[in-house]
Chains A and B, each alone.
Chain A
């Protein structure tokens, strides 16, 4: 028995291994990368282009001009959309891993379960950030540019946003018993979260048409994920969005760790 590896260096090796596997799996799934990139580009090239001809969007901070082209407005929301899909896809792969038995390999590692789950979460976040930067590169050639500061400042915002959406997915994966149930969750989670947010339209515009919908959008954590990214792309911090994203991340990460705890969680109560 070798206990020498269960130290801080071993933790680093373990973290690196989990990220390496996630990245390796991602690079081997070209269609996953393509669909992750094509999805927001379809919105950008077709949906936004159509709306641009109809109207620009009148918004306030962080934009300096009052009338912003629509595709410029929705670009941060599309970045968040990539992370939303990636977070849910990661949790889908967790459910798949649990069904195939690969999850057991992870959970019988001698490292603490919270560390393993957080590493798994971070691995997904790193993959999602690579996808977002690939999207921003294509958007740059489409004329949607941020400053160098914006491209750098968006990195920590993407880390936080990715962690929040990944933690939500992780928690969902602990509660979902079978892959078949996942499709329903996607419909009930991804689409409502995306559409009832500030990703596609400013909240004041939503308030004009429906106060109830406006309140739903304000309650939706994804709105704050979008705003955190939007402000960061302009080198600014949206304090409210930051606080909400950090709090929601902490809540769902703790909930997921408890759910995967063998003595307390949902997994313990299920016969697999």
Chain B
């Protein structure tokens, strides 16, 4: 059932195609418990496809994906129970209040009303949004909405948090707030994080980095080791052959 002493996430030799287009090709990566791993790639590298496979929105046609030791294909329930996700597109119900969104998400994880309220307040406090709990999501700023989505993803105490381009479309201050919230979770609560991004300034030297390019993993190492004394963006361009404009896009 469950692999003993499992990594928070283990992806082994996963490939996926859309018709004749190969979106992922033999991708393998592992995320240790309580670690921050950046999944770095330009737009179209396959980051969202990989996240869709991990969350079982797509089926992993070939290879194996385990979350906390549970195979997402054979043991989807326990695997997804340990997973929190912040998708690239906004997914809160804008017509409902933040607290109502929390309650709905809690119910989707089998958590009843009173417990949902307790946990909801806890996580909203954690991301600095307790004061906005009864506001409609439509009234929140972009950064607040993202932090509310992070709070929602944490509601059921997942050990692995996936964030797909979570800072896209945010201003500098909101981006900083979101990044610092997530790093705080790793540091203080031991949540493992897979942070999909194409923005180098969100990656610290000690972070683990997986470079994904055209559906293939080109490198897996710490950011500092990949940079080799230069900066990460130059190392990335040398590794992928991508144009600087792709990286900045």
Binds B, one of A106-114, A207-215, A223-231: A106-114
Of all chain A residues, which has the CB nearest B112? A13
Name B109's contact: one of A21, A109, A263 (CB within 8 Å): A109
* B46-93 interface with A by 8 A CB criterion: 49, 52, 55-59, 61, 68, 73, 76-83, 85, 87-93
Binds A, one of B156-164, B208-216, B228-236: B156-164
* Known A-B contacts A5-B156, A104-B91, A262-B59; A24 and B108 likewise in contact (beta carbons under 8 Å): no
Q: Chain B contact residues (Cβ within 8 angstroms of A): what range?
A: 35 or more
- Asked if A52 is at the interface of the complex by the 8 Å CB criterion, the answer is no
Are A17 and B82 in contact, CB atoms less than 8 angstroms apart?
A: no
- Asked if A16 is at the interface of the complex by the 8 Å CB criterion, the answer is yes
How distant is the Cα of A269 from the Cα of B106 in the complex, in angstroms? Answer: 29
How distant is the Cα of A106 from the Cα of B76 in the complex, in angstroms? Answer: 14
A-B pairs with beta carbons under 8 A, tally: 124
**Scoring B residues 109 to 135 as 1 if CB is less than 8 Å from chain A, else 0, what string do you get?**
111100000000000000000000000
Per DSSP, are chain B's interface residues mostly helix, strand or loop, or mixed?
Answer: loop
* A256-272 interface with B by 8 A CB criterion: 261-263, 267-272
Q: Chain B residues near A112: list those with CB within 8 A.
A: 76-77
Q: Chain B residues near A20: list those with CB within 8 A.
A: 103-104, 107
* A228-272 interface with B by 8 A CB criterion: 261-263, 267-272
Q: Chain A contact residues (Cβ within 8 angstroms of B): what range?
A: 35 or more
Q: Chain B residues near A17: list those with CB within 8 A.
A: 103-104, 106-108
How distant is the Cα of A18 from the Cα of B104 in the complex, in angstroms? Answer: 7
Name B81's contact: one of A1, A101, A105, A116 (CB within 8 Å): A1
Are B80 and A108 in contact, CB atoms less than 8 angstroms apart?
A: yes
Q: Chain B residues near A108: list those with CB within 8 A.
A: 55-57, 80, 83, 85
Name A100's contact: one of B91, B112, B156 (CB within 8 Å): B91
Per DSSP, are chain A's interface residues mostly helix, strand or loop, or mixed?
Answer: helix
Give the 7 A-B CB pairs with smallest separation, nearest first.
A17-B107, A10-B110, A5-B110, A1-B82, A263-B59, A101-B91, A101-B89
Residues of B within 8 A of A (CB): 18-19, 23, 49, 52, 55-59, 61, 68, 73, 76-83, 85, 87-93, 95-96, 100, 103-112, 156-159
Residues of A within 8 A of B (CB): 1-3, 5-7, 9-11, 13-14, 16-18, 20-21, 24-25, 28, 100-102, 104-112, 116, 261-263, 267-272
Could you list 14 further interchain pairs (A-B, Cβ under 8 angstroms) beyond the known A1-B68, A18-B107? A5-B109, A5-B156, A13-B111, A14-B110, A20-B107, A24-B100, A100-B91, A104-B55, A104-B87, A108-B56, A108-B83, A110-B110, A271-B18, A271-B49
